[in-house]
């Protein structure tokens, strides 16, 4: 019995295609192995940088590298994926067989690894795609993340609702904790790197001024909660409502986050829980990808806050 045994049983009961169940079981195996590395990383010299830079010109952490190798090995052995696209691989990697393509960010929030902060792995499944470029995110066959925090949670969807599994640290298996999870329609917190405010468009700044207003009658001010790990910050928002944002700005036109292995999988999770995800103008899941490592601005979370963000970004609403 592998770490995905209960998850596989649940998927089979839901009549999910057997080959997809097997692929997700492989993802559960990979992330359980990564979790074991993460837990011991402070003792095993797995924190810090490798000295290399990846295709996005970002410094590669030792954990990025180790987690990427685990995904490659486990996926190759599973025989269920023909292709792996990873934040840590410049080009899509042919794996030899299987009906699916897997898109992963092996370690999301790598900078947190050095300070014993929460990190995660994000994954997205498409039908095998020509040259690694899939259709828009609404065509994803499954998506999810595993957050390595005080506990290890997996949020997953196969396009029918949103479910949470938690890794039992003794039995080493993912156990179902919440089925059919729904996001609150609005919340009281937002997550954004406020240090970039000087680079934002006025509409983006006006949105956060609105959330920060001294206006208890409208549920303001919101609280700011930002950890530097998208999976950890989004986890709070999926459970408690609110919004996570990584806007485009004067320095980084399309923001920082990647469409195929960050924004799209998280957008599918949010929508399956009744939330929304947008680039400020367009639904994330409708964007047709142009390149495998393409970046996209991201506004994701409860429907109320994502719609309000769009109103400000598109200047339908202006500074109050
Ligand atoms: P990474 O996958 O290279 O770690 O980058 C993604 C991370 C997100 O987890 C996080 O929300 C964001 O980058 C933080 O970026 P910044 O330090 O610019 O706020
Ligand atoms: Mg990463």
Cα 213 to ligand 2 centroid, rounded to whole Å: 34
Task: Report the atom number in ligand 1 closest to the C-alpha of 109.
Answer: 4
Cα 106 to ligand 2 centroid, rounded to whole Å: 6
For position 188, what pLDDT does the model report?
Answer: 97
For domain 189-313, the CATH class is alpha beta
Task: Report the atom number in ligand 1 closest to the C-alpha of 231.
Answer: 9
Task: Report the atom number in ligand 1 closest to the C-alpha of 227.
Answer: 11
Pocket of ligand 1 (CB under 6 A): 58, 87, 105, 108-110, 193, 228-230, 256
pLDDT in tens, the chain (320 residues): 799 999 999 999 999 999 999 999 999 999 999 999 999 998 888 888 888 888 778 888 889 999 999 999 999 999 999 999 999 999 999 998 889 999 999 999 999 998 999 999 999 999 987 777 999 999 999 999 999 999 999 999 999 999 999 999 999 999 999 999 999 999 999 999 999 999 999 999 999 999 999 999 999 999 999 999 999 999 999 999 999 999 999 999 999 999 999 999 999 999 999 999 999 999 999 999 999 999 999 999 999 999 999 999 999 998 87
Measured by CA distance, the residue closest to atom 4 of ligand 1 is: 109
For position 98, what pLDDT does the model report?
Answer: 87
Task: Report the atom number in ligand 1 closest to the C-alpha of 191.
Answer: 11
Give the helix ranges, DSSP H, for the chain: 5-13, 18-40, 62-78, 202-212, 230-240, 264-272, 303-313
Measured by CA distance, the residue closest to atom 5 of ligand 1 is: 109
Measured by CA distance, the residue closest to atom 2 of ligand 1 is: 108
Q: Which ligand is nearest to the CA of 86?
A: 2
For position 155, what pLDDT does the model report?
Answer: 98
Q: At what angle do helices 18-40 and 5-13 cross, to 10 degrees?
A: 150
Q: Which ligand is nearest to the CA of 63?
A: 2
Residue of 86, 113, 235, 256 to test ligand 1 pocket, by largest number of atoms within 8 Å of CB: 256
For position 56, what pLDDT does the model report?
Answer: 78
For position 170, what pLDDT does the model report?
Answer: 95
For position 59, what pLDDT does the model report?
Answer: 82
Nearest residue to 46 (alpha-carbon basis) of 65, 25, 69: 65
Nearest residue to 113 (alpha-carbon basis) of 66, 168, 54: 66
For position 319, what pLDDT does the model report?
Answer: 83
Cα 139 to ligand 2 centroid, rounded to whole Å: 23
Task: Report the atom number in ligand 1 closest to the C-alpha of 195.
Answer: 19
For position 97, what pLDDT does the model report?
Answer: 80
- 3-class secondary-structure state, position 3: coil
For position 13, what pLDDT does the model report?
Answer: 97
Contacts of residue 270, defined as CB under 8 A and 6 or more positions apart, other chains included, come to 183, 234, 238, 276, 277, 300, 301
Cα 218 to ligand 1 centroid, rounded to whole Å: 30
Distances (CA, A) of 27 to 4, 143, 203, 240: 8, 11, 39, 26
Q: Which ligand is nearest to the CA of 67?
A: 2
Contact status, residue 238 vs residue 269, Cβ threshold 8 Å: yes
| Intervals of CATH 3.40.190.80 along the chain | 189-313
Residues 7-178, CATH architecture: 2-Layer Sandwich (3.30)
Distances (CA, A) of 203 to 47, 138, 208, 222, 314: 39, 28, 9, 18, 7
Measured by CA distance, the residue closest to atom 11 of ligand 1 is: 230
| Intervals of CATH 3.30.540.10 along the chain | 7-178
Contact status, residue 76 vs residue 313, Cβ threshold 8 Å: no
Cα 71 to ligand 2 centroid, rounded to whole Å: 13
């Amino acid at each position: 019995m592998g770490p995905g045994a209960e998850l596989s049983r649940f998927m089979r009961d839901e009549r999910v295609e057997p080959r997809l169940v097997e692929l997700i079981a492989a993802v559960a195996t990979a992330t359980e192995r990564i979790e074991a590395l993460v837990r011991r990383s402070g003792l095993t010299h797995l924190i810090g940088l490798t000295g290399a830079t990846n295709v996005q010109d970002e410094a590669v952490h030792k954990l990025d590298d180790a987690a990427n190798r685990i995904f490659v090995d486990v996926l190759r052995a599973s025989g269920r994926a023909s292709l792996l696209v990873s934040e840590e691989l410049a080009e899509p990697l042919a794996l030899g067989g299987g009906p699916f393509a897997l898109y992963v960010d092996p370690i999301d929030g790598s900078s947190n690894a050095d300070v014993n902060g929460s990190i995660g792995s994000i994954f997205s499944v498409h039908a095998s795609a020509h040259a690694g470029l899939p259709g828009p995110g609404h065509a994803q066959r499954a998506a999810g993340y595993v957050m390595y925090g005080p506990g290890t949670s997996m949020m997953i969807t196969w396009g029918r609702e949103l479910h949470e599994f938690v890794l039992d640290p003794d039995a080493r298996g993912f156990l179902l904790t919440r089925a059919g999870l729904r996001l609150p329609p609005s919340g009281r917190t937002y997550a954004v790197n406020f240090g970039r405010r000087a680079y934002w468009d006025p509409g983006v700044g006006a949105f956060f001024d609105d959330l920060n207003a001294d206006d208890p009658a409208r549920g303001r001010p919101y609280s700011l909660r930002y950890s530097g790990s998208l999976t950890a910050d989004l986890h709070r928002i999926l459970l408690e409502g609110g919004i996570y944002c990584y806007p485009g700005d004067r320095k980084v036109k399309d923001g920082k986050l990647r469409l195929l292995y960050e924004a799209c999988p998280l957008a599918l999770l949010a929508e399956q829980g009744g939330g929304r995800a947008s680039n400020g103008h367009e639904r994330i899941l409708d964007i047709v990808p142009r390149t495998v490592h393409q970046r996209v601005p991201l506004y994701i979370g409860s429907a109320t806050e994502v719609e309000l963000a769009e109103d400000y970004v598109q200047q339908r609403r202006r500074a109050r």
